[in-house]
Amino acid sequence: MNNSLEVTDLCKNFRDFNLNHINFTLPRGYIMGFIGPNGSGKTTVIKLILNMLKKDQGIIKVFGQDHIHQEVDIKENIGVVFEAPYYIPDWNLMDLEASVKPFYKTWNSHRYYSLLKDFELNKNQKIKTLSKGMKLKFMIAAALAHETKLLILDEPTSGLDAVSRDELLGILGDYVTSEEKSILFSSHITSDLEKIADYITFIHKGELIYTGTKDELLEKYCVIKGDGSKLTGEQYETVIGYTENTTGFEGLYPLKALSGLSANIVTDTATLDDIILFTNRNKVAFKCNTNERLG
């Protein structure tokens, strides 16, 4: 079993939103950034993996096992951190341990309190008195207090300041030092993922736009800026998310096609944020380009 997570042809239909044929694979020992704008379907996919939502079609395998038939065994080895802490606010961090511990065979109280100490959290403190950054830390402590092989994070950095986000990346970096452990990190703050993710899965409006290594994605595209009139018709068609502004135009462009561009067009390195932003403006062109070039 070399993959922590395999999602094949996953579909889920709601009245006003459809998740269409999502495919991705998270190899064991790696971090996958799960990106897309708000409402793109990231949380839906995570809920489907956790069997909170019932899929309409597709196969989900966690550690090579079916996510429904082997649900209990799988969840024994998964740690989940949501954006909000779904705990009773009046609980302190010891109540939390007392209520969650019995569910996990591998729960390690020493590890839980050790993590709280590392995160500078007081075990007597009530959840409602914790700041957002502290809430994230205690949720991570609760998720890592049992033997997890897969950590699923659903928008954990939303609303966090830069310092807390940086601390989180440090914690996650420490976690994946073991080759057994993987992370599925859903976020729309892509700067975090750019630092730590090995793989990227990008979905938009319920459709898979890209899945593969982060480096491959970033090496395929650049941002171009300049005078739009210098572009040929074919080049104009190739630009993803072509946007006019006061100084000219900007858009995403395949690096392979750069050679024919006018010297007046400025090129810049594309970030994941740029890719999401420009794709959001022209998803279809991006998808065609990506599929064509990545085979």
* Binding residues vs another protein (CB under 8 A): 47, 50-54, 71-76, 78, 80, 82, 84, 86-91, 95, 98-100, 102-104
Closest distance of CB 54 from another protein, Å: 6
In the complex with another protein, the residue whose CB is nearer, 55 or 181, is 55
In the complex with another protein, the residue whose CB is nearer, 78 or 209, is 78
In the complex with another protein, the residue whose CB is nearer, 90 or 120, is 90
Half-sphere exposure of 256 (CA within 13 A, CB side): 9
Question: Facing residues of 92 across strands?
Answer: 126
Closest distance of CB 34 from another protein, Å: 17
In the complex with another protein, the residue whose CB is nearer, 98 or 288, is 98
State the pairing for strand pair 182-186/150-154.
parallel
How many other CB atoms are found less than 10 A from the CB of residue 209? 22
Closest distance of CB 16 from another protein, Å: 14
How far apart, in Å, do the first and last CA atoms of the chain sit?
25
Closest distance of CB 241 from another protein, Å: 34
**3-state SS, one letter per residue, for 5-36:** EEEEEEEEECCCCEEEEEEEEEECCCEEEEEC
CA–CA distance, 156 with 61 (Å, rounded to integer): 23
CA–CA distance, 215 with 59 (Å, rounded to integer): 27
Burial annotation 180-194 (CB, 10 A radius, 16+ → b, else e): ebbbbbbbbbbebbb
Closest distance of CB 204 from another protein, Å: 22
